[in-house]
Protein backbone atom coordinates (compact mmCIF):
# COMPACT_ATOMS: atom_id res chain seq x y z
CA UNK A 1 0.00 0.00 0.00
CA UNK A 2 1.16 3.51 -0.72
CA UNK A 3 2.15 5.51 2.35
CA UNK A 4 0.57 8.94 1.89
CA UNK A 5 2.32 10.56 4.83
CA UNK A 6 5.71 9.51 3.46
CA UNK A 7 4.70 10.87 0.07
CA UNK A 8 3.52 14.19 1.53
CA UNK A 9 6.85 14.59 3.32
CA UNK A 10 8.55 14.72 -0.09
CA UNK A 11 6.64 17.89 -1.11
CA UNK A 12 8.08 20.94 0.66
CA UNK A 13 5.36 23.28 -0.64
CA UNK A 14 2.72 21.36 1.31
CA UNK A 15 4.47 22.10 4.60
CA UNK A 16 3.40 25.71 5.01
CA UNK A 17 0.67 27.82 6.54
CA UNK A 18 -1.63 30.34 4.89
CA UNK A 19 -3.59 32.79 7.02
CA UNK A 20 -2.38 30.84 10.06
CA UNK A 21 -3.95 27.61 8.78
CA UNK A 22 -2.07 24.60 7.41
CA UNK A 23 -2.26 24.66 3.62
CA UNK A 24 -4.77 22.29 2.02
CA UNK A 25 -3.89 22.18 -1.66
CA UNK A 26 -6.75 21.05 -3.92
CA UNK A 27 -5.88 22.77 -7.22
CA UNK A 28 -3.99 19.87 -8.80
CA UNK A 29 -5.82 19.93 -12.14
CA UNK A 30 -4.27 23.36 -12.63
CA UNK A 31 -0.78 22.35 -11.49
CA UNK A 32 0.66 19.84 -9.05
CA UNK A 33 3.26 20.51 -6.40
CA UNK A 34 6.77 19.14 -6.98
CA UNK A 35 8.57 16.44 -4.98
CA UNK A 36 11.99 17.24 -3.57
CA UNK A 37 13.69 14.85 -6.00
CA UNK A 38 12.46 16.95 -8.96
CA UNK A 39 13.62 20.16 -7.33
CA UNK A 40 16.99 18.56 -6.55
CA UNK A 41 17.45 17.21 -10.10
CA UNK A 42 16.91 20.65 -11.59
CA UNK A 43 19.20 22.29 -9.05
CA UNK A 44 21.87 19.67 -9.76
CA UNK A 45 21.74 20.45 -13.47
CA UNK A 46 22.32 24.15 -12.83
CA UNK A 47 24.99 23.48 -10.21
CA UNK A 48 27.04 20.85 -12.01
CA UNK A 49 25.95 20.31 -15.65
CA UNK A 50 24.77 23.72 -16.85
CA UNK A 51 25.51 24.05 -20.57
CA UNK A 52 23.70 24.16 -23.86
CA UNK A 53 22.94 20.87 -25.61
CA UNK A 54 24.00 19.48 -28.98
CA UNK A 55 26.57 22.28 -29.33
CA UNK A 56 30.25 22.44 -28.56
CA UNK A 57 32.55 19.65 -27.49
CA UNK A 58 33.41 20.41 -23.87
CA UNK A 59 32.62 18.20 -20.90
CA UNK A 60 29.61 20.09 -19.55
CA UNK A 61 27.77 20.22 -22.85
CA UNK A 62 28.34 16.50 -23.32
CA UNK A 63 26.89 15.82 -19.86
CA UNK A 64 23.92 18.11 -20.47
CA UNK A 65 23.20 16.55 -23.85
CA UNK A 66 23.27 13.05 -22.37
CA UNK A 67 20.83 13.99 -19.60
CA UNK A 68 18.60 15.83 -22.07
CA UNK A 69 18.34 12.89 -24.45
CA UNK A 70 17.97 10.38 -21.62
CA UNK A 71 14.97 12.43 -20.52
CA UNK A 72 13.50 12.10 -24.01
CA UNK A 73 13.97 8.33 -23.83
CA UNK A 74 12.23 8.26 -20.44
CA UNK A 75 9.22 10.08 -21.85
CA UNK A 76 9.09 7.82 -24.90
CA UNK A 77 9.07 4.72 -22.69
CA UNK A 78 6.48 6.24 -20.37
CA UNK A 79 3.96 6.85 -23.17
CA UNK A 80 4.75 3.74 -25.22
CA UNK A 81 6.20 5.63 -28.18
CA UNK A 82 7.99 3.60 -30.83
CA UNK A 83 11.06 5.84 -30.72
CA UNK A 84 12.46 8.79 -28.74
CA UNK A 85 12.57 10.64 -32.05
CA UNK A 86 8.77 10.89 -31.94
CA UNK A 87 8.97 12.99 -28.74
CA UNK A 88 9.22 16.75 -29.31
CA UNK A 89 10.01 19.09 -26.41
CA UNK A 90 7.72 22.11 -26.13
CA UNK A 91 6.78 24.62 -23.42
CA UNK A 92 3.59 22.72 -22.67
CA UNK A 93 0.45 21.17 -24.13
CA UNK A 94 -0.65 24.56 -25.49
CA UNK A 95 2.50 25.03 -27.55
CA UNK A 96 2.31 21.42 -28.70
CA UNK A 97 -1.19 21.96 -30.08
CA UNK A 98 -0.15 25.20 -31.77
CA UNK A 99 2.81 23.40 -33.36
CA UNK A 100 0.55 20.75 -34.84
CA UNK A 101 -1.97 23.33 -36.02
CA UNK A 102 0.63 25.57 -37.66
CA UNK A 103 2.77 22.80 -39.14
CA UNK A 104 0.54 19.83 -39.96
CA UNK A 105 -2.65 21.90 -40.16
CA UNK A 106 -1.23 24.60 -42.40
CA UNK A 107 0.08 21.96 -44.78
CA UNK A 108 -3.02 19.77 -44.90
CA UNK A 109 -6.02 22.07 -44.52
CA UNK A 110 -7.70 23.95 -47.33
CA UNK A 111 -10.97 25.77 -48.00
CA UNK A 112 -14.04 24.01 -46.55
CA UNK A 113 -12.06 21.26 -44.86
CA UNK A 114 -13.38 20.57 -41.37
CA UNK A 115 -11.88 20.34 -37.89
CA UNK A 116 -14.13 18.66 -35.32
CA UNK A 117 -13.88 19.84 -31.69
CA UNK A 118 -16.26 19.26 -28.79
CA UNK A 119 -17.68 22.24 -26.91
CA UNK A 120 -16.26 20.89 -23.62
CA UNK A 121 -12.65 21.42 -24.68
CA UNK A 122 -10.08 23.67 -23.00
CA UNK A 123 -9.39 26.89 -24.89
CA UNK A 124 -5.91 25.55 -25.71
CA UNK A 125 -7.56 22.91 -27.88
CA UNK A 126 -9.97 25.34 -29.53
CA UNK A 127 -8.22 28.64 -30.24
CA UNK A 128 -5.21 27.26 -32.21
CA UNK A 129 -7.65 25.47 -34.53
CA UNK A 130 -9.76 28.59 -34.96
CA UNK A 131 -6.63 30.50 -35.93
CA UNK A 132 -5.46 27.96 -38.49
CA UNK A 133 -8.99 27.69 -39.88
CA UNK A 134 -9.01 31.45 -40.49
CA UNK A 135 -5.63 31.18 -42.22
CA UNK A 136 -6.54 28.24 -44.48
CA UNK A 137 -10.28 28.65 -45.10
CA UNK A 138 -11.10 25.50 -43.16
CA UNK A 139 -14.07 25.31 -40.78
CA UNK A 140 -14.18 24.45 -37.08
CA UNK A 141 -17.23 22.26 -36.42
CA UNK A 142 -18.58 22.06 -32.88
CA UNK A 143 -19.42 18.65 -31.45
CA UNK A 144 -22.12 19.14 -28.80
CA UNK A 145 -22.21 17.69 -25.33
CA UNK A 146 -24.93 15.45 -23.93
CA UNK A 147 -27.41 16.66 -21.30
CA UNK A 148 -24.95 15.67 -18.56
CA UNK A 149 -21.97 17.43 -20.11
CA UNK A 150 -20.27 14.49 -21.80
CA UNK A 151 -18.93 14.10 -25.33
CA UNK A 152 -21.85 13.18 -27.59
CA UNK A 153 -20.46 10.28 -29.61
CA UNK A 154 -23.65 9.93 -31.65
CA UNK A 155 -23.52 13.58 -32.64
CA UNK A 156 -19.83 13.19 -33.48
CA UNK A 157 -20.50 10.25 -35.76
CA UNK A 158 -23.25 12.17 -37.54
CA UNK A 159 -20.96 15.18 -38.08
CA UNK A 160 -18.00 13.12 -39.28
CA UNK A 161 -17.54 13.15 -43.03
CA UNK A 162 -14.78 13.00 -45.62
CA UNK A 163 -14.51 16.79 -45.30
CA UNK A 164 -13.08 16.29 -41.81
CA UNK A 165 -9.28 16.34 -41.77
CA UNK A 166 -8.55 16.77 -38.05
CA UNK A 167 -10.30 15.85 -34.81
CA UNK A 168 -9.05 17.48 -31.59
CA UNK A 169 -10.19 15.88 -28.35
CA UNK A 170 -9.19 15.89 -24.68
CA UNK A 171 -8.33 12.56 -23.09
CA UNK A 172 -9.95 13.76 -19.84
CA UNK A 173 -11.72 17.10 -19.54
CA UNK A 174 -10.50 19.70 -17.08
CA UNK A 175 -13.85 20.94 -15.70
CA UNK A 176 -15.72 17.75 -14.81
CA UNK A 177 -12.93 15.19 -15.20
CA UNK A 178 -14.95 13.26 -17.78
CA UNK A 179 -13.04 10.54 -19.59
CA UNK A 180 -13.70 11.01 -23.32
CA UNK A 181 -14.30 8.14 -25.81
CA UNK A 182 -10.94 8.68 -27.48
CA UNK A 183 -10.64 5.10 -28.77
CA UNK A 184 -13.98 5.31 -30.57
CA UNK A 185 -13.14 8.75 -31.93
CA UNK A 186 -9.74 7.64 -33.25
CA UNK A 187 -11.19 4.55 -34.93
CA UNK A 188 -14.03 6.48 -36.57
CA UNK A 189 -11.78 9.34 -37.69
CA UNK A 190 -9.23 7.01 -39.22
CA UNK A 191 -11.94 5.26 -41.22
CA UNK A 192 -12.53 8.46 -43.19
CA UNK A 193 -8.84 9.46 -43.31
CA UNK A 194 -8.83 12.15 -40.61
CA UNK A 195 -6.05 12.57 -38.05
CA UNK A 196 -6.67 12.85 -34.31
CA UNK A 197 -4.90 15.01 -31.75
CA UNK A 198 -5.45 13.96 -28.13
CA UNK A 199 -4.92 16.58 -25.44
CA UNK A 200 -3.53 14.49 -22.60
CA UNK A 201 -2.88 17.29 -20.12
CA UNK A 202 -5.25 15.69 -17.59
CA UNK A 203 -5.22 12.13 -18.91
CA UNK A 204 -1.48 11.51 -18.62
CA UNK A 205 -1.70 11.79 -14.82
CA UNK A 206 -4.66 9.48 -14.29
CA UNK A 207 -4.23 6.73 -16.87
CA UNK A 208 -1.45 4.60 -18.22
CA UNK A 209 -0.96 5.83 -21.75
CA UNK A 210 0.37 3.81 -24.66
CA UNK A 211 0.23 6.00 -27.74
CA UNK A 212 1.13 3.11 -30.04
CA UNK A 213 -1.75 0.93 -28.87
CA UNK A 214 -4.06 3.95 -28.78
CA UNK A 215 -3.07 4.70 -32.40
CA UNK A 216 -3.18 8.43 -31.68
CA UNK A 217 -1.71 10.55 -34.47
CA UNK A 218 -0.73 13.24 -31.97
CA UNK A 219 -0.70 13.16 -28.16
CA UNK A 220 0.27 16.22 -26.11
CA UNK A 221 0.76 16.96 -22.43
CA UNK A 222 2.40 19.34 -19.99
CA UNK A 223 4.88 18.47 -17.27
CA UNK A 224 3.50 20.72 -14.57
CA UNK A 225 0.37 18.62 -14.01
CA UNK A 226 2.55 15.52 -13.62
CA UNK A 227 4.59 16.66 -10.59
CA UNK A 228 7.17 18.15 -12.98
CA UNK A 229 8.23 21.78 -13.63
CA UNK A 230 6.36 24.50 -15.46
CA UNK A 231 7.51 25.36 -18.96
CA UNK A 232 8.13 21.85 -20.27
CA UNK A 233 5.75 19.86 -22.43
CA UNK A 234 5.64 17.05 -24.94
CA UNK A 235 4.31 16.54 -28.42
CA UNK A 236 4.21 12.94 -29.56
CA UNK A 237 3.50 12.39 -33.24
CA UNK A 238 3.65 9.36 -35.48
CA UNK A 239 7.03 9.27 -37.26
CA UNK A 240 5.50 9.31 -40.73
CA UNK A 241 3.70 12.54 -39.86
CA UNK A 242 6.78 14.19 -38.38
CA UNK A 243 8.73 13.36 -41.52
CA UNK A 244 6.28 15.27 -43.72
CA UNK A 245 5.50 18.18 -41.38
CA UNK A 246 7.28 21.45 -42.22
CA UNK A 247 9.19 23.37 -39.59
CA UNK A 248 7.25 25.88 -37.51
CA UNK A 249 9.87 28.06 -35.81
CA UNK A 250 13.30 28.82 -37.20
CA UNK A 251 16.57 29.30 -35.35
CA UNK A 252 19.62 27.48 -34.11
CA UNK A 253 19.86 23.73 -33.58
CA UNK A 254 17.02 22.88 -35.98
CA UNK A 255 19.04 23.31 -39.17
CA UNK A 256 21.34 21.18 -41.25
CA UNK A 257 22.85 24.02 -43.32
CA UNK A 258 22.07 27.73 -43.59
CA UNK A 259 23.17 29.62 -46.69
CA UNK A 260 22.25 32.89 -48.34
CA UNK A 261 23.13 31.32 -51.68
CA UNK A 262 21.37 27.96 -51.53
CA UNK A 263 18.86 28.54 -48.74
CA UNK A 264 18.43 26.57 -45.55
CA UNK A 265 18.10 22.83 -45.12
CA UNK A 266 16.68 21.44 -41.92
CA UNK A 267 17.55 18.69 -39.48
CA UNK A 268 15.39 15.63 -39.04
CA UNK A 269 12.79 15.29 -36.30
CA UNK A 270 12.83 15.87 -33.42
CA UNK A 271 15.52 18.54 -33.87
CA UNK A 272 13.72 20.40 -36.67
CA UNK A 273 10.90 21.31 -34.25
CA UNK A 274 13.17 22.44 -31.40
CA UNK A 275 14.58 25.78 -32.48
CA UNK A 276 16.81 27.64 -30.04
CA UNK A 277 18.04 26.80 -26.57
CA UNK A 278 15.69 24.27 -24.98
CA UNK A 279 14.48 23.96 -21.41
CA UNK A 280 17.12 21.42 -20.41
CA UNK A 281 16.39 21.64 -16.70
CA UNK A 282 12.69 21.22 -17.39
CA UNK A 283 13.25 18.08 -19.46
CA UNK A 284 15.42 16.61 -16.70
CA UNK A 285 12.78 17.59 -14.14
CA UNK A 286 10.03 15.91 -16.16
CA UNK A 287 12.01 12.68 -16.51
CA UNK A 288 12.72 12.73 -12.78
CA UNK A 289 9.02 13.23 -12.02
CA UNK A 290 8.07 10.34 -14.31
CA UNK A 291 10.58 8.01 -12.65
CA UNK A 292 9.36 9.12 -9.22
CA UNK A 293 5.71 8.55 -10.16
CA UNK A 294 6.38 5.13 -11.68
CA UNK A 295 7.54 3.74 -8.34
CA UNK A 296 3.93 3.64 -7.14
CA UNK A 297 1.30 1.07 -8.09
CA UNK A 298 -0.92 2.87 -10.59
CA UNK A 299 -4.07 1.07 -9.47
CA UNK A 300 -3.45 1.98 -5.82
CA UNK A 301 -2.91 5.64 -6.68
CA UNK A 302 -6.07 5.72 -8.79
CA UNK A 303 -8.09 4.07 -6.05
CA UNK A 304 -6.74 6.47 -3.43
CA UNK A 305 -7.67 9.54 -5.47
CA UNK A 306 -11.05 8.08 -6.43
CA UNK A 307 -11.93 7.39 -2.80
CA UNK A 308 -11.09 10.96 -1.79
CA UNK A 309 -13.19 12.26 -4.67
CA UNK A 310 -16.11 10.01 -3.76
CA UNK A 311 -15.96 10.99 -0.09
CA UNK A 312 -15.89 14.67 -1.00
CA UNK A 313 -18.75 14.28 -3.45
CA UNK A 314 -20.95 12.49 -0.90
CA UNK A 315 -20.23 15.13 1.75
CA UNK A 316 -20.88 18.05 -0.63
CA UNK A 317 -24.22 16.50 -1.58
CA UNK A 318 -25.34 16.88 2.04
CA UNK A 319 -24.76 20.65 2.02
CA UNK A 320 -27.80 22.72 1.12
CA UNK A 321 -27.35 25.09 -1.85
CA UNK A 322 -24.29 23.27 -3.25
CA UNK A 323 -24.79 21.80 -6.72
CA UNK A 324 -22.18 19.51 -8.29
CA UNK A 325 -21.69 19.95 -12.05
CA UNK A 326 -21.35 16.80 -14.15
CA UNK A 327 -19.71 14.53 -11.59
CA UNK A 328 -17.30 12.03 -13.17
CA UNK A 329 -15.11 9.47 -11.36
CA UNK A 330 -12.16 9.53 -13.75
CA UNK A 331 -9.71 12.26 -12.73
CA UNK A 332 -10.23 13.29 -9.11
CA UNK A 333 -12.11 16.46 -10.12
CA UNK A 334 -15.29 17.94 -8.64
CA UNK A 335 -16.80 21.17 -9.94
CA UNK A 336 -19.63 22.80 -8.05
CA UNK A 337 -21.69 25.97 -7.85
CA UNK A 338 -23.83 27.69 -5.25
CA UNK A 339 -26.78 29.09 -7.22
CA UNK A 340 -27.10 32.82 -6.80
CA UNK A 341 -23.58 33.19 -5.42
CA UNK A 342 -20.50 34.10 -7.45
CA UNK A 343 -17.92 31.32 -7.55
CA UNK A 344 -15.14 33.75 -6.66
CA UNK A 345 -16.86 34.60 -3.38
CA UNK A 346 -16.84 30.94 -2.35
CA UNK A 347 -13.19 30.45 -3.36
CA UNK A 348 -12.15 33.60 -1.50
CA UNK A 349 -13.74 32.37 1.71
CA UNK A 350 -12.05 28.99 1.25
CA UNK A 351 -8.70 30.68 0.68
CA UNK A 352 -9.10 32.57 3.94
CA UNK A 353 -9.11 29.14 5.56
CA UNK A 354 -6.07 28.00 3.49
CA UNK A 355 -8.10 25.78 1.17
CA UNK A 356 -6.58 26.20 -2.30
CA UNK A 357 -9.12 25.53 -5.06
CA UNK A 358 -9.70 26.89 -8.55
CA UNK A 359 -12.64 29.11 -9.48
CA UNK A 360 -13.74 30.59 -12.77
CA UNK A 361 -14.51 29.34 -16.26
CA UNK A 362 -11.40 27.11 -16.31
CA UNK A 363 -10.52 28.18 -19.87
CA UNK A 364 -13.74 26.54 -21.06
CA UNK A 365 -16.11 29.33 -22.10
CA UNK A 366 -18.06 27.19 -24.61
CA UNK A 367 -18.75 24.56 -21.95
CA UNK A 368 -19.88 27.19 -19.46
CA UNK A 369 -22.22 28.61 -22.11
CA UNK A 370 -23.60 25.15 -22.86
CA UNK A 371 -24.22 24.53 -19.15
CA UNK A 372 -25.75 27.98 -18.68
CA UNK A 373 -23.34 29.05 -15.94
CA UNK A 374 -20.55 31.63 -15.62
CA UNK A 375 -18.08 29.45 -13.75
CA UNK A 376 -17.57 26.88 -11.02
CA UNK A 377 -15.46 26.12 -8.00
CA UNK A 378 -13.20 23.20 -8.88
CA UNK A 379 -11.61 20.76 -6.44
CA UNK A 380 -8.95 18.41 -7.78
CA UNK A 381 -7.03 15.72 -5.92
CA UNK A 382 -3.51 14.33 -6.29
CA UNK A 383 -1.51 11.48 -4.82
CA UNK A 384 -0.51 13.48 -1.73
CA UNK A 385 -4.02 14.49 -0.66
CA UNK A 386 -5.62 12.88 2.40
CA UNK A 387 -8.98 12.38 4.05
CA UNK A 388 -8.01 15.18 6.40
CA UNK A 389 -7.88 17.46 3.34
CA UNK A 390 -11.41 16.38 2.46
CA UNK A 391 -12.63 16.99 6.00
CA UNK A 392 -11.08 20.47 6.08
CA UNK A 393 -12.59 21.26 2.69
CA UNK A 394 -16.10 20.23 3.74
CA UNK A 395 -15.87 22.15 7.01
CA UNK A 396 -14.72 25.25 5.13
CA UNK A 397 -17.43 24.96 2.46
CA UNK A 398 -20.06 24.73 5.19
CA UNK A 399 -18.69 27.90 6.81
CA UNK A 400 -18.71 29.67 3.44
CA UNK A 401 -22.31 28.63 2.76
CA UNK A 402 -23.36 29.89 6.19
CA UNK A 403 -21.72 33.26 5.51
CA UNK A 404 -23.07 33.60 1.98
Could you list the active site residues?
363
**In DSSP terms, which residues pair with 33 in a beta bridge?**
none
**β-pair partners for 222:** 233
Please list the alpha-helical segments (H only) found in 294-335: 298-316
Q: Left (φ > 0), alpha (ψ -120 to 50) or beta: where does 171 sit?
A: alpha
- Residue pair 39/12 in contact by the 8 Å Cβ criterion: yes
**Nearest alpha carbon to residue 206 among 308, 281, 121:** 308
Helices (runs of H) and strands (runs of E) counted in the chain: 16, 17
Is 154 exposed, middle or buried (CB count within 10 Å of its CB: 0-12, 13-18, 19+)? exposed
326: left (phi over 0), alpha (psi -120 to 50) or beta: left
Region of 202 (left: φ > 0; alpha: ψ -120 to 50; beta: rest) is alpha
Distances (CA, A) of 94 to 41, 212, 223, 340: 25, 22, 12, 33
Amino acid sequence: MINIEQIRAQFPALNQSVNEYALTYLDNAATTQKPQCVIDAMADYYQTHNANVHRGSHHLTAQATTLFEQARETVAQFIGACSPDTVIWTRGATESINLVAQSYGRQQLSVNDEILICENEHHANIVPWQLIAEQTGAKVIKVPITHNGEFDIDAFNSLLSTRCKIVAIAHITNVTGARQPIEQVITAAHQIGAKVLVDGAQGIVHEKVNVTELDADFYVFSGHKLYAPNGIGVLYAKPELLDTMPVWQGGGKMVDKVSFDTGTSFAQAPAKFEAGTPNVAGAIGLATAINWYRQFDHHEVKQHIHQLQLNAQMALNTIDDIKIIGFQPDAGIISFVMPGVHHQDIATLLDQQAIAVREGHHCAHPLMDALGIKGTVRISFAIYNTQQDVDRLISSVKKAVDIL
